Amino acid sequence: MTVAKLFTPFEIRNVRFPNRIVVSPMCQYQATDGLVQDWHRAHHARFALSGVGGAVIEATGVVAEGRITPGCLGLWHDGQIAGMAEITRLYRTHGIPSGIQLAHAGRKASAALPWDGAGPLAASGSPQAWQTVAPSATAPAEGWPVPHELTQSEIADLVEAFAAAARRAVTSGFDFVEIHGAHGYLIHSFFSPLANSRTDAYGGSFEGRSRFALEVTEAVRAAIPAGMPMFWRVSAVDHDPSGVQIEDTVRLAQRLKAAGADVIDVSTGGISGPIARSGPPQFPGHQVPYAARIRREADIATMAVGMIMEPALAEKILEDGDADLVALGRELLADPAFAYRAARELGVPAAESILPQPFAFHLARREQALARLRTG
C-alpha cells in the first residue's frame, strides 16, 4: 500500500513534524496589549487536538509599533512570554511542533480591525493610532499616513528587536520561528522597489534592498538554538511589473538559506494594501508554482499556501515535489478536523490514530460500526 506523503513526517534540524499539514499564521485581533487571551487558547486548542503536523502562531509584533492592529499579539517584553508558553504547551502535549511568526507591520501598521474596514486608524482620528515607519516616506496606499523614514540607527534597533523577540520565543517554548517577510510589512517593504526608494546601503540594488532581510535573518539565527528551524514567509511576487518578481525571490531565498533559514513559506502580494483585494484572482493552489520554483532553484524546503482545501490537492503538491509542507488557513477555520478527513480520504490505515486517544478510541469504534453497516 502506498503511504500518503501528506502523512509522512518532515524533519528539519532537530524538529520532527509528524505530518505535512501546518496551521498557517492567522491574526485573531483578540490580544490586549499584545498579550494572549482566552480566545487564543481556545483557538489553538482546536488545532492542538486536530492531528495537524505543525502550527505557526499569528504575526506577532517585535515592538509595539510593529503590530498591524491594537489587537495583535506581541513579544516585545518578557511579560508576554507566559501567555505564549501556554500556547506552546497546548501543542507540545500533543506532539505538534509550534512556531511563531515574528513580525513588524511597517507602513501597514496602526490599522483598524478587518471587520472595522482594516483602514488606517489615523484616518478615523482614532486615539489608538500610532506613527508608522518604513524604508521610505511613502504611504502604502491612498488615504494612508506617510510613514517615518527609518534612520540607520533605528534600523539597527529593529534588527535587535527581532533577535530579542526570537529569544523570548525560545523561552516561550516554541519549536521553530518564522520571519514575516511578506504581505507589504516592514521586511517586504525594504525588499520591494515599490516601497523602497532609499539611496543608502538599505536601498537601490538587490543587495541593498535585501540587506534588512538578511540582517534580521542572521540576528535571529544567532538568537535561537542551532537545532531550531527557521521558517521565512515571502511574498514571492508583487503582481506588478515594477515590483518583486519570482527571480528576485529565488535569489533572496538562496541568500536566506545561506543566512540560516530552513523553509520558505510562499505567499504573494500585499505590498500596497490588503492581499485579498489586490492581485489576480485566487484559486486552489494559486501560489504553488512559486513554491515549486523556489524549492527547485534555491534548493530549499518550501511550504505552499493558498486555498488548499482538498486533501487530494495537498497530496499532489507534495507528490509533485512542489513543496515539503502545506499550510492551511481558512480551511482549518472552517474545518479544524481537516487532518482527520484527509487521513480518511487518502486511505491512511487507522486514520483516527492521528488524533489524541480520547478522540481516536471512539472514532475507531465508529469506523467499526460503519463498516458493519456497509457489509450488512
Distance (Å, whole) CA 59 – CA 27: 6
CB of 349 to ligand FMN, least distance (A): 27
**Residue 180 interacts with ligand FMN (CB under 6 A): yes or no:** yes
| The one segment of 84-92, 195-203, 322-330, 368-376 that binds ligand FMN by CB under 6 A | 322-330
**Residue 96 interacts with ligand FMN (CB under 6 A): yes or no:** no
Do 151 and 218 touch, CB atoms closer than 8 A?
Answer: no
**Residue 80 interacts with ligand FMN (CB under 6 A): yes or no:** no
- Out of 329, 337, 364, 367, the residue judged to bind ligand FMN by CB under 6 A: 329
Question: Which set of grid coordinates corresponds to residue 308?
Answer: 488548499
Question: Strand, coil or helix: what is 327?
Answer: strand
Amino acid identity, residue 124? S
**Residue 24 interacts with ligand FMN (CB under 6 A): yes or no:** yes
Do 209 and 245 touch, CB atoms closer than 8 A?
Answer: no
- Out of 12, 21, 27, 271, the residue judged to bind ligand FMN by CB under 6 A: 27
**Residue 331 interacts with ligand FMN (CB under 6 A): yes or no:** yes
Nearest residue relative to ligand FMN (C-beta): 329
Considering the candidates 29, 91, 185, 202, report the single residue annotated as catalytic. 185
Amino acid identity, residue 218? E
Question: Which set of grid coordinates corresponds to residue 267?
Answer: 505567499
Distance (Å, whole) CA 99 – CA 304: 16
Per the annotation, the verdict on 185 as an active-site residue is yes
**Residue 304 interacts with ligand FMN (CB under 6 A): yes or no:** no
**Residue 52 interacts with ligand FMN (CB under 6 A): yes or no:** no
**Residue 313 interacts with ligand FMN (CB under 6 A): yes or no:** no
Q: Which CB atom, from 232 or from 352, has the smaller least distance to ligand FMN? A: 232
Q: Which CB atom, from 73 or from 122, has the smaller least distance to ligand FMN? A: 73
CB of 282 to ligand FMN, least distance (A): 7
Contacts with ligand FMN in 194-253 (CB under 6 A)?
Answer: 233
Closest CA to 47 of 376, 365, 357, 335: 335
The residues near 370 (Cβ < 8 Å, ≥ 6 apart) are: none
Closest CA to 305 of 325, 320, 281: 325
Distance (Å, whole) CA 40 – CA 139: 32
**Residue 59 interacts with ligand FMN (CB under 6 A): yes or no:** yes
CB of 152 to ligand FMN, least distance (A): 27
Distance (Å, whole) CA 164 – CA 168: 6
CB of 207 to ligand FMN, least distance (A): 25
Question: Which set of grid coordinates corresponds to residue 106?
Answer: 511597517
Closest CA to 184 of 125, 243, 143, 142: 243
**Residue 328 interacts with ligand FMN (CB under 6 A): yes or no:** yes
Do 162 and 82 touch, CB atoms closer than 8 A?
Answer: no
- Out of 98, 189, 267, 268, the residue judged to bind ligand FMN by CB under 6 A: 267
| The one segment of 9-17, 19-27, 187-195, 241-249 that binds ligand FMN by CB under 6 A | 19-27
**Residue 307 interacts with ligand FMN (CB under 6 A): yes or no:** yes
| Full DSSP string of 50-104 | TT-SEEEEEEEESSGGG-SSTTSEE-SSGGGHHHHHHHHHHHHHTT--EEEEEE-
Q: Which CB atom, from 121 or from 179, has the smaller least distance to ligand FMN? A: 179
**Residue 75 interacts with ligand FMN (CB under 6 A): yes or no:** no
Do 228 and 272 touch, CB atoms closer than 8 A?
Answer: no
Which residues are identified as catalytic? 185
- Which chain residues interact with ligand FMN by CB under 6 A? 24-27, 58-59, 101, 180, 182-183, 233, 267, 305-308, 328-331
